[in-house]
Amino acid sequence: MTTTTTQPIVTLDGQQPRQPGLPSAPTSPSETHPTNPRPDLAATVGHTPMLRLREASALTGCEILAKAEFLNPGGSIKDRTALGLLLDAEHRGLLRPGGLIVEGTAGNTGIGLALLGASLGYRSVIFMPQTQSREKIDALRISGAEVRLVPAVPYRDPDHYAHQARRYADELNGVAPLSAWFADQFDNTANRDWHEATTGPEIWQDAGGRVDGFVCAAGTGGTLAGVGRALKARNPAVCIALADPAGSALASYINTGELVASGNSISEGIGSSRITANFDGAPIDLAWSIPDDESVPLTHQLLHQEGWCVGGSSGVNIAGAIRLARKLGPGHTIVTVLADAGTRYQAKLFNPPFLREKGIPVPEWLARAFPVEPAGT
Ligand SMILES: Cc1ncc(COP(=O)(O)O)c(C=O)c1O
């Protein structure tokens, strides 16, 4: 792999080369599509297709639209986050040519950082809870990152993966200043700012300026806060809603001001027990806690009836879109995101025994695809 460090970074329109570290603020991405050929991986992040979800639209009498974020080069919406954080770090002189990226992540942000890092000449070390899907852990390893799996503990525990990542970067910088950059996706608001500058305007443009509501889950909160701000700036009447998985405390926080969580979810990468800097102050009008037996069947239906194979969190988002459509009534346009692909969670999402154990309905077609094999075969 080439590790040239002097190549220009290209903004989303693929037309404005920028040297790493040069003081040109990465804040004005183009709302026009990039031109082909694309010069590098960064120029392929974003500008995802906007899909019309046929069944959800028919069910509600609304136009339910979704950005196909699983089509980003690293396979998730977090490629956008990774690019925004990287550009900001370079702009602020925090990431030097050939430097080391350090991050704590449930997986997708790490994959984005590692792949963009490979393209731009950076190495990466990723701290990740060992409870995440095998598919994501493997994807991270083959993306070139050094993966450090750590026990899944609450954020208040000093061994939480985000604290371990920060400590590791601090230790390296203590020995050699500016040798490592801690991306800090949860509390680095360059994350939210990038979504405000890119994802939000793209959504507005893709929907022809007809957006009545936007809904999605929050992990760091960067997507919801950034897109929410961008859409409200264009039309303050746009309704911004949070679809929160069971086991997360964010919906309760929006509805009651108290961080209270109940239940649990097989979804990954979303939900939180605390208010991150990216989530703080997000312009959220409505919030729901969505149980798995509502969201997971929607991912199964989307695959079986419309051909889109998306992850469990996208089911949470579609459930949120249906709830928001019912709240606003027929005739409205609701937008959400399909954050990553179902193949990243195959051993859970499409595994009948696992689903049954979790009390999640198994559709007939899925049970037929994976029949129980007689013992001894
Ligand atoms: C898998 C996944 N990761 C992350 C997010 C949102 O990320 P964040 O709040 O960190 O921007 C979503 C939102 O739907 C998601 O589905």
**Residue bearing the CA closest to ligand 1, atom 13:** 217
How big is the CA angle at 238 (ends 220 and 331), to the nearest 5 degrees?
Answer: 120
Q: Is the dihedral of CA 139, 143, 144, 150 positive or negative?
A: negative
Give the N- to C-terminal CA distance of the chain in Å, as an integer. 44
Q: Is the pLDDT of residue 150 over 90?
A: yes
Q: Kindly state the tokens that stand for 234.
A: 């264009």
Determine the CATH number of domain 78-182.
3.40.50.1100
Q: What is the pLDDT of residues 293-321, one digit of tens each?
A: 999 999 999 999 999 999 999 999 999 99
Q: Kindly state the tokens that stand for 74.
A: 């690293």
Neighbours of 15 (CB within 10 A): 13
Taking the complete model, does pTM exceed 0.75, yes or no?
A: yes
- Pairing mode of beta strands 63-68, 50-52: antiparallel
- The half-sphere exposure of 116 on its side-chain side, counting CA atoms within 13 A, is 30
Nearest one of 356, 291, 359, 310 to 370, comparing CA atoms: 356
Q: Supply the pLDDT for residue 107.
A: 86
DSSP category for residue 304:
I
Q: What is the pLDDT of residues 174-197, one digit of tens each?
A: 999 999 999 999 999 999 999 999
Q: Kindly state the tokens that stand for 189.
A: 């608001």
Q: Is the pLDDT of residue 9 over 50?
A: no
Q: Is the pLDDT of residue 11 over 70?
A: no
- pLDDT tier at 375 (50, 70, 90 boundaries)? low
Cα 270 to ligand 1 centroid, rounded to whole Å: 5
Residues carrying an active site annotation: 78
Instruction: Give yes or no for residue 133 CB within 6 A of ligand 1.
Output: no
Instruction: Give yes or no for residue 290 CB within 6 A of ligand 1.
Output: no
- Pairing mode of beta strands 146-150, 239-245: unpaired
**Residue bearing the CA closest to ligand 1, atom 3:** 269
- In the chain, list all ranges with CATH 3.40.50.1100: 36-71+199-356, 78-182
Q: Is the pLDDT of residue 342 over 70?
A: yes
Determine the CATH number of domain 36-71+199-356.
3.40.50.1100
Mean pLDDT is lowest, of 29-43, 204-218, 306-320, for 29-43
Instruction: Give yes or no for residue 220 CB within 6 A of ligand 1.
Output: yes
Q: Is the pLDDT of residue 121 over 90?
A: yes
DSSP category for residue 144:
T
Residue 164 CA, chain-centre distance (Å), reads 21
Q: What is the pLDDT of residues 123-146, one digit of tens each?
A: 999 999 998 888 889 999 999 999
Mean pLDDT is lowest, of 23-27, 106-110, 351-355, for 23-27
Please confirm whether the linkage preceding 37 is cis (ω < 30° from 0). yes
